[in-house]
Amino acid sequence: MWKTLVVTGCILLLLGAGVRAQEGLIAKVGPYTLTQEDFKKELEANAQLKALLQVRPDLKKLLVDRWVEVTLLALGGKKEGLLKDPEVQAQIEEQTRMILAQYYFQRKVLKDLKVSERELQEYYLKHKTDYELPERVQARHILVRFPAHAQPEQEKEALKKIEEIRKKIAAGADFAEMARKYSEDPGTKEKGGDLGLFARGQMVPEFEEAVFKLKVGELSSPIRTRFGYHLVKVEAKVPAQSQPFEKVKNQVRQDLLEAKRKEKLQALLKKLQKEYPVEVHPENLP
């Protein structure tokens, strides 16, 4: 069985264990062998390591060297009788528990977990509102900042400035040009204050609450947030809309598989709890 190690330079290394056939042998230390099959399996199970070796194939030799070093140390520890050490035994027991849980979960919950086309369509119809695109707004804004712990005079100065900008826009000045000239938001300033399309939950609450009340083309009063004072002009509103099944089919599949996974897991845990009593004492948490 292999484990992943982290060494200087964040290089991922491998530890192999087991007695295997000589075919495709990469390295051998005492009774332990590292084969091509071992190496390929680890790469398939570790996308990060696989990507790293595609960029730096020279690191393969380093991985083998580390495997040899770790195996030698393991054999030395075994000879010294460390397998009988209580601390070592506790860690082995913990790793065994985790490995058993992983494989048992894969075989009892994930194995044969699939959904039919009919199930997908039924799930979609039952949860159709979950796949709606929410109401969205397209807007521009101008921001005049004041410090996080601003004195009243500083905040008044920012409010005065934003009100003067508002008067110019109300008198006919172009909002986008005013944003390029006066806005203190570096992310949108050069785009004329354009925030693009956004839905509820993407902006700070006080900003969002004010903006979604505006009509298309309406200029807001100054909106105060922790960033400063904003002026907002709504350019478009897109109402909530349903998405057709084919467009969200992949997401429906993921959601249904996850729902089935949870259902199978809960049923399995309930069955196991009847056989193995569980005690939990959160009051004893440190």
Using CA atoms in the order 46, 47, 50, 54, what is the torsion angle rounded to 10 degrees? -170
Residue 129's pLDDT is what? 92
Based on the fold, state whether residues 56 and 151 are members of the same structural domain: no
Note whether residue 257 is domain-resident. no
Output helix, strand, coil percentages for the chain, rounded to the nearest 5.
Answer: 55, 20, 25
The count of domains in the chain is 2
Note whether residue 14 is domain-resident. yes
Q: What CA–CA distance (Å, rounded) separates 85 from 250?
A: 51
Q: Which domain holds residue 219?
A: 133-238
Q: What CA–CA distance (Å, rounded) separates 16 from 89?
A: 19
CATH number, position 207: 3.10.50.40
Is the Cβ–Cβ distance between 5 and 47 less than 8 Å?
no
Note whether residue 275 is domain-resident. no
| Residue 158 token pair | 């920012």
What are the φ and ψ backbone dihedral angles of 202, each rounded to 5 degrees?
A: -100, -15
* Strands of the chain, DSSP E: 3-7, 11-15, 25-29, 32-35, 136-145, 194-199, 223-225, 228-238
Is the Cβ–Cβ distance between 256 and 121 less than 8 Å?
no
Residue 20's pLDDT is what? 47
Note whether residue 272 is domain-resident. no
- Which residue ranges of the chain lie beneath pLDDT 50? 1-21
Residue 15's pLDDT is what? 44
Instruction: Give the end of a domain, one of 14, 46, 80.
Output: 80
| Residue 53 token pair | 């070796």
Residue 12's pLDDT is what? 34
Residue 65's pLDDT is what? 95
Note whether residue 111 is domain-resident. no
Whether this prediction's pTM lies above 0.75 is answered by: no
Using CA atoms in the order 104, 109, 111, 114, what is the torsion angle rounded to 10 degrees? -170
